[in-house]
Structure 1
Amino acid sequence: MTNVTQNRPLSPHLSIYKQIPTMVMSIMHRITGMALYSGTLLVAWWLVAAASGEAYFDWVNAILGSLPGRLVLLGYTWALVHHLLGGIRHFVWDTGHGFDPQTSTRMAWATIIGSIILTVLIWIAGYAVRF
């Protein structure tokens, strides 16, 4: 039996590709999608604590209200908003628009900037309602 792979070219490696914003956004969309699974488990944990009684709810709130807990929740909020905006970007592409490189790059940057701005606004609104 002959070795058919011997004369085949090697597949290009990621190191030779120029990382463009749409490629980074594709990777980030997948990462934020996976992060949403963990964050949703936290939301479910908080809801179970709310249904389980005041003592357990206070304990879970203390964990999620601590500095590390808030940082995790901030990351979850950003992942949620980023994934949402990425989904809207994909929806626009599903309509057949925004495929030219200039527009797709602008949409990728808008996803990054928009997700950061919206996350900050959501947290500002949350703190404003709290006090």
Structure 2
Amino acid sequence: MPATRPRPLSPHLQIYRPQLTSVLSIFHRATGLLLVPGTLLLSLWVILLALGEGSFSCISLFVEHLIGRLLLLAWLFSLYYHLCNGIRHLAWDLGYGYAIGVVYRSGFVVVVTALGLTLATAFWA
């Protein structure tokens, strides 16, 4: 029997309403991906520091610039968010926090904690 109207196999992004749980899950994966190049650049920064003042001064100019500071701040937030959400996932692995209310509250706590840690680190330095 031929179908009169083709139906989508999965929800389309234009009609799908994102939920907090799906957004935080996607954001966890995205921050994990962003941590890789950021960590490589941070490693390069430390290597240049070990090579001497001349090598280190070129990358210090970038870090002292507004764009460099914003990228470093974004990397810090990615690190703290990924860390806090990883702790949340460990609690789920132990069987805690599956109730929908707890999921939403813990997601809120993860975001607020990551923001707080990022700001604390930024103003501490």
For normalisation by structure 2, the TM-score amounts to: 0.89
The alpha carbon displacement at 1:99 in A equals: 0.6
Unmatched segments (≥5 aa) in structure 1: 1-5, 127-131
Give, in whole Å, the separation in 1 of the partners of 2:55 and 2:7.
60
Give the ranges of 4+ consecutive aligned residues of structure 1 lying more than 6 Å apart after TM superposition. Answer: none
One-letter amino acid matched to 2:54: A
Q: Which residue of the partner structure matches residue 121 of structure 2?
A: 122
Distance 1:85 1:100, change over 3 A: same
Give, in whole Å, the separation in 2 of the partners of 1:10 and 1:74.
40
Identity %: 36
For the 8 Å contact 1:81–1:119, the answer to whether it is kept is yes
For normalisation by structure 1, the TM-score amounts to: 0.85
Cα RMSD over matched residues? 1.6
Give, in whole Å, the separation in 2 of the partners of 1:94 and 1:18.
27
The alpha carbon displacement at 1:55 in A equals: 0.6
Q: Which residue of the partner structure matches residue 10 of structure 1?
A: 8
Give, in whole Å, the separation in 1 of the partners of 2:113 and 2:45.
28
Unmatched segments (≥5 aa) in structure 2: none
Give, in whole Å, the separation in 1 of the partners of 2:104 and 2:41.
33
The alpha carbon displacement at 1:50 in A equals: 1.1
The alpha carbon displacement at 1:9 in A equals: 5.1
